Amino acid sequence: MFSLKPLRHRTARTARTAAVGVLAAAACATVLSGSAGAIVNGSDSTESYPFMAVVPESAPDQGVLDANCGASLIDKQWVLTAAHCVQGEGLKLDGTVRIGSDHRKSGGTVRKIDRTFVHPGYVNGDNKAANKDDIALIRLDRPVTQKPIRIAEQAGRPGTPTRLLGFGTTVDTEFAFPDRLQQLNTRRGAESECAPGYADRTRLCTISTVPHAMACFGDSGGPQIRKGRDGRWELIGVTSGPGAPDVPCSQGPGLYTSAPAYAQWIHTTMRTRG
């Protein structure tokens, strides 16, 4: 649910197209990912992330034919993403998920989507406010061999070093999706570092440690990770949208749905719907 204000100078049709890509809120749904996604001013991935997943999407009615959202493999047959990436007017899922590749359209393992489960409390802020309960599960038709990422027990205190991953646009005002997976070093922000009413216990304010950088259109649903005590990556957040209204992606902050806050819903859904 990334703001479209930075695209204000573009044509009405382009703005509508951007909205759909952002409809998946912040980088999902085909061009989605707006303030937290292929990551503006990020860098090529420096290591393997077998849990990273990409969900191809489009919005044909708006002329958007090649977009995507991110996701995280949290079980051999389940990926976690943003609700706005799987539910939205005009949004069309490709019907597949690519897991474990550092390239947007090749490598890794491709599985068909069996079913999707959107959190029952999900509300799209429609670029005027933060999304609520912006989280969803995708059940794959068959298990994969890639190693899932575990969900952290806690998101960590403000200041905790984190990292964002995504295939979202690398340019604030354009839909320029990279072939190579992008990463960006960030930190947990205090609630006060996002706009009033945006961050809370379930929505993590995220601040880039690199100037003029943040997730953007197409990064929605992707992971925010941190190192656990054993040195392994843990999942703490799901890319949801910008952390303030009317701010270009690169100006930040970003807003992430807290995976630990929804751990019970996640595990209950997988257990009862698996």
pLDDT of residue 41: 67
pLDDT of residue 40: 67
pLDDT of residue 243: 95
Tens-digit pLDDT profile for the chain (274 aa)? 432 222 222 222 333 333 333 333 333 333 333 333 347 667 788 899 999 999 999 888 877 788 999 999 999 999 999 999 999 888 999 999 999 999 999 999 999 999 999 999 999 987 678 999 999 999 999 999 999 999 999 999 999 999 999 998 888 877 788 899 999 999 999 999 999 999 999 999 999 999 999 999 899 999 999 999 999 999 999 999 999 998 898 898 999 999 999 999 999 999 998 7
d(C-alpha 76, C-alpha 53), whole Å: 12
Evaluate whether 87 touches 136 at the Cβ level (below 8 Å): yes
pLDDT of residue 4: 22
Helix (H) or strand (E) holding 256: strand 254-258
Q: Which tens digit of pLDDT belongs to each residue from 58-77?
A: 888 877 788 999 999 999 99
Q: Which tens digit of pLDDT belongs to each residue from 88-120?
A: 888 999 999 999 999 999 999 999 999 999 999
pLDDT of residue 73: 98
Closest Cα to residue 63, out of 105, 7, 20, 1?
20
What's the predicted TM-score (pTM) here? 0.86
d(C-alpha 70, C-alpha 95), whole Å: 14
21's CB contacts (< 8 A; 6+ apart) are 27, 28, 29, 30, 31, 32, 33, 34, 59, 64, 67, 175, 217, 218
